[in-house]
């Protein structure tokens, strides 16, 4: 077996990244497997890592590191203590690596572990030919799920978790932000029986895909008034639920004000900094329930994603924005920065 591999590295603190052809193939620990990477999708988080914002600087201490975390591949080597996987298994990866010992882990919430490590952020990830994966975070791919689809499940899970917290069955729901997660969230709303789905974004191309994924009404929030559109769609009452994928302060406030009294807002997208909210008028007097979600329930959300994938009429195909060889990472980044719709996927 060869000893070096190609991969994309964060070399040092500060903006940028490097494509390397001389990286050592990772050595695995007893509880890990070595995954031959078949597809790794580019996430908003990776864009933060490239730009080196406050979020990235706080979490990435151990440099250089291969980043990239939304991935799928094939097990080629298993650690001595691994019992649940074998060579040849096709897997995706839960990126939250819990400690297994803290209060959250011991009370059924490992996805918000107090000592969380994050695959492809605080420990080496998958923009490379091989990646070391904790066996406890590997998720076997059901038959018929391609590696490209597999690489989208982690992001899909964030959208699905958000939609499930919003409890959309029979309800009118607003989905703000029609990037890949938003598009998958819209599809999940449809499968979960939402009565009416309103989607908003700043890009018409993304809104067209939102329709494909099942949105009933699309609103370009750069040109139209989202709150008015939702009120018009609900006889003036407001939506039962809103799921914010955008992380935009403006969209979050518009989401709150689009809700009926007693409605629910779920935040999935991450704002860059603090955002001003009028608690009295927008939340307290109107008895709004506002919650965030972080990643996926381990592993209920993954199961739900697999079921949604199998639902009649649901397809992830429209959400694939493009596939690129690893060395063309810059092209994928350029496409994302240009507002190209869908998920960009790197194939080593
Ligand atoms: Zn991600
Ligand atoms: Zn823990």
Query: What distance in Å separates the CA atoms of residue 133 and residue 125, rounded to the nearest whole number?
Result: 8
Number of residues that this document lists for the chain: 348
Determine which one of 3, 4, 21, 48 is catalytic.
48
Q: What is the mean pLDDT of residues 34-60?
A: 95
Evaluate if residue 79 carries a pLDDT over 80: yes
Answer yes or no: 48 catalytic: yes
Q: How far is the CA of 29 from the centre of ligand 1 (A)?
A: 24
* 108 alpha carbon, closest ligand: 2
What are the extents of the domains in the chain? 4-152+316-347, 162-292
CB atoms under 10 Å from CB of 57, counted, come to 13
Residue 199 has pLDDT above 70, yes or no: yes
Mean pLDDT of 49-75: 95
Q: Among residues 40, 45, 218, 264, which one is catalytic?
A: 45
**What does the block give as tokens for 1?**
């077996």
Distance from Cα 333 to the centre of ligand 1, integer Å = 14
DSSP 68-109: --EEEEEEEEE-TT--S--TT-EEEE-SEE--SSSHHHHTT-
pLDDT band at 272 (very low <50, low <70, confident <90, very high): confident
The rounded mean pLDDT for the chain is 97
CATH class, domain 4-152+316-347, is alpha beta
pTM of the model: 0.97
Tell me the pLDDT tens digit for each residue of 213-225: 999 999 999 999 9
State the pLDDT at residue 18. Answer: 98
Domain 162-292 is found in CATH 3.40.50.2000:
no
Predicted pLDDT at 83: 96
Give the ligand at the shortest distance from the Cα of 68. 1
Cβ neighbours of residue 85 closer than 8 Å, sequence gap 6 or more = 33, 75, 78, 91, 135, 138, 140
Residue 298 CA to ligand 2 center (angstroms) comes to: 12
The structure tokens listed for 323 are: 């596939």
Contacts of 23 (CB under 8 A, 6+ apart): 4, 5, 6, 7, 9, 66, 128
* Span from the CA of 283 to the centroid of ligand 2 (angstroms): 32
| Tens digits of residue pLDDT in 134-184 | 999 999 999 999 999 999 999 999 999 999 999 999 999 999 999 999 999
Q: Spell out the residues 6+ positions from residue 26 whose beta carbon is closer than 8 angstroms to its own.
A: 34, 124, 130, 131, 132
pLDDT attached to residue 1: 65
Indicate which ligand has the atom closest to the C-alpha of 71.
1
CA of 182 to the centre of ligand 1 (A): 13
- Token code pair at residue 212: 């494909």
Helix (H, G, I), strand (E, B) or coil at 311: coil
pLDDT at 273: 86
């Amino acid at each position: 077996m060869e000893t070096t591999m190609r991969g994309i590295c964060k070399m040092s603190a500060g903006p940028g990244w490097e494509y390397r052809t001389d990286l050592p193939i990772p050595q695995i620990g007893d509880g890990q497997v070595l995954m031959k990477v078949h597809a790794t999708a580019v996430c908003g988080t990776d864009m933060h890592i490239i730009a080196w914002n406050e979020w990235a600087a706080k979490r990435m201490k151990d440099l250089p590191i291969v980043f990239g975390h939304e991935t799928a591949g094939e097990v080629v080597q298993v650690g001595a203590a691994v019992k649940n996987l074998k060579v040849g298994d096709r897997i995706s990866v839960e990126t939250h690596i819990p400690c297994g010992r803290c209060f959250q882990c011991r009370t059924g919430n490992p996805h918000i572990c107090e000592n969380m490590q994050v695959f492809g952020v605080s420990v080496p990830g998958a923009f490379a030919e091989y990646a070391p994966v904790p066996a406890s975070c590997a998720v076997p791919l059901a038959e018929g799920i391609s590696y490209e689809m597999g690489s989208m499940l982690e992001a899909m899970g964030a959208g699905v978790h958000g939609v499930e917290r919003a409890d959309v069955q029979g309800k009118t729901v607003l989905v703000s932000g029609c990037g890949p997660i938003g598009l998958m969230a819209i599809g999940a709303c449809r499968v979960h029986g939402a009565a009416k789905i309103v989607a908003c974004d700043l890009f018409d191309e993304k809104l067209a895909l939102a329709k494909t994924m099942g949105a009933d009404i699309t609103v370009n929030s750069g040109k139209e008034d989202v709150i008015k559109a939702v009120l018009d769609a609900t006889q003036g009452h407001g939506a039962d639920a809103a799921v914010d994928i955008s992380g935009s302060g403006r969209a979050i406030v518009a989401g709150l004000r689009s809700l009926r009294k007693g409605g629910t807002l779920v935040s999935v997208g991450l704002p860059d900094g603090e955002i001003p909210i009028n608690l009295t008028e927008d939340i307290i007097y109107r008895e709004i329930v506002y919650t965030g979600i972080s990643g996926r329930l381990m592993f209920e959300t993954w199961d739900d994603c697999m079921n949604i994938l199998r639902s009649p009429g649901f397809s992830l195909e429209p959400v694939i924005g493009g596939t690129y060889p690893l060395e063309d990472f810059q092209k994928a980044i350029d496409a994302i920065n240009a507002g190209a719709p869908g998920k960009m996927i790197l194939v080593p």
